[in-house]
Amino acid sequence: MNKALILSHLRNIPNFPAPGIQFKDVSTLFKDPVCFREILNELVALYKNRGITKVVGIESRGFIMGAALAAELGAGFVMCRKPGKLPGETVKTDYTKEYGTDSIEIHTGAIDCGDTVLIHDDLLATGGSMRAAYDLVQSFHPKATFVNFLIELRMEGLDGRAAFAPGTDITCLLTLTE
C-alpha cells in the first residue's frame, strides 16, 4: 500500500466540529481517483479471502468505501444509520463518541446467521461507534465478524482498540499519532 500517497491526500481541519477536535477529513482522499483506487485495492487485498458476505458501513463516511468494497468482494452492503433514518423495523443501540452521544440502527433482517460480516468506518477514535455497531451486528448471530477502519487515531488518552474484546479482528490502513 502507498501510505505516503494516502497521507498526502488526508486533510486535517482543526476545531471541527468542536473546539479542540483535530478532524481528519477523508473527503480529500475520496475525491482523488488514484488515492480512492489505492485505498479500495488495499481493502480488497485484506478481505478478498475472508468469505465476507455482508459489508456493514457506519453512517456516513463508512458508506463510501464500504459500498465500493462490498461490490468488489461480491458481498451485500448494509447501512448502519443514525436513528430515524431507516424506514423499516430496526434494532438500535446508544453509544458515546469523541464529541457527544449518538445512537445507531440496522434494519431487522439485514444480516443472518449464515453471514460473515465486515464492519467498516472511516476512523477509529474512542471506538464507541464501532463497538455499538459491533454489538448490534452480534445480535444477528453472524458466523464471523471483522472490523476495518481507514484511519486509527492513537493519541494520548485515546485507545480505541481497548473498546473491543481481545482477539477481535481489527485492521486499520493508517495509524495517526498526531
The one among 1, 10, 21, 40 contacting ligand AMP by CB under 6 A: 21
**Shortest distance (Å) from residue 115 CB to ligand AMP:** 22
DSSP letters spanning 121-146: EEEESSSHHHHHHHHHHHTT--SEEE
DSSP for 163-175, written as a single string = GS-TT-EEEEEEE
**Stretch of 3-11, 18-26, 41-49, 78-86 lying at the interface with ligand AMP (CB under 6 A):** 18-26
Give rounded-to-5 percent helix, strand, coil for the chain.
30, 35, 35
Size of the site for ligand AMP (CB under 6 A): 20
d(CA 52, CA 156): 34
Binding residue for ligand AMP, selected from 2, 8, 15, 22, defined by CB under 6 A: 22
Does 154 engage in binding with ligand AMP (CB under 6 A)? no
Question: What minimum distance in Å lies between the beta carbon of 49 and ligand AMP?
Answer: 27
Rounded CA gap, 139 and 155, in Å? Answer: 31
Among 97, 107, 154, 161, binds ligand AMP (CB under 6 A): 97
What span, in angstroms and rounded, lies between the C-alpha atoms of 144 and 127?
19
Residues that bind ligand AMP (CB under 6 A): 21-24, 58, 61, 97-98, 121-130, 153, 160
